[in-house]
Structure 1
């Protein structure tokens, strides 16, 4: 099992949950966000045991705060940093990380009334940040 520092684990969690949050909040509305968050959590639960361990340990993810632009910037930065962390420490997990995040974003977008243009745009930003 790959050893990550607490900061690296936090960055990976922030990236994963932040990507779900970013797509979910691209489609406003409480009930939509609630359904979408559940769909995203289920997708993240489908990760390998090693990635699940990263997602589940170390407390709550730190979703960036501030304006929508600051939130997006923080999530994008965490996604980019996560790619670097995984490339350096566990390249075999990078492909799965990208796949799990992409699946989570897709499931979030499809969870409530079909995929909106704003969700498609958020997903494209996530893919760009992951280099996928």
Structure 2
């Protein structure tokens, strides 16, 4: 049974999803790459549906740190894990949708400019781990 998300819970889902894209995009920075990567991510997010779409399209954009990659990671990776927990509790059917959407967006961003670099692949792997079921 699906339950409505609070504004804070929606923000957690957004922080995880948009932050994952930001992590991959910043793994290999560059202005032209960033433009292509933004289009790739928006295409993946456009495929969202249900509660996940509602969370990603409503309200303000998340505020992510910009000082260092480690600081961004320290916010984004826990948000991804928390997003999975929130969905598991409120809308279990949307857990796999969220995971697939975030991973698809991250992978599309990695491929968007001259193929996947080792740094981008590493960022996608960290995102995949953060989205995984706890052991």
Q: TM-score, normalised by structure 1?
A: 0.94
Give the 5 Å matches for 1:22-101: 22-101=23-102
Q: How far 1:48 moved relative to its partner? A: 1.2
Instruction: Tell me how large the CA RMSD over aligned residues is.
Output: 1.3
- 1:113 and 2:134 aligned: no
Q: How far 1:17 moved relative to its partner? A: 0.4
Q: Separation in 1 of the partners of 2:93 and 2:5?
A: 15
Q: Provide runs of 4+ in structure 1 moved above 4 Å.
A: none
The answer to whether the 8 Å contact 1:13/1:61 transfers is: yes
The answer to whether the 8 Å contact 1:26/1:122 transfers is: yes
Q: Separation in 1 of the partners of 2:40 and 2:63?
A: 19
Q: TM-score, normalised by structure 2?
A: 0.92
SS of 1:69 mapped into structure 2: helix
The answer to whether the 8 Å contact 1:17/1:63 transfers is: no
Aligned length in residues: 132
Unaligned runs of 5+ residues in structure 1 are none
Q: Separation in 2 of the partners of 1:119 and 1:17?
A: 15
* Residue matched to 2:7: 6
The answer to whether the 8 Å contact 1:15/1:76 transfers is: yes
Unaligned runs of 5+ residues in structure 2 are none
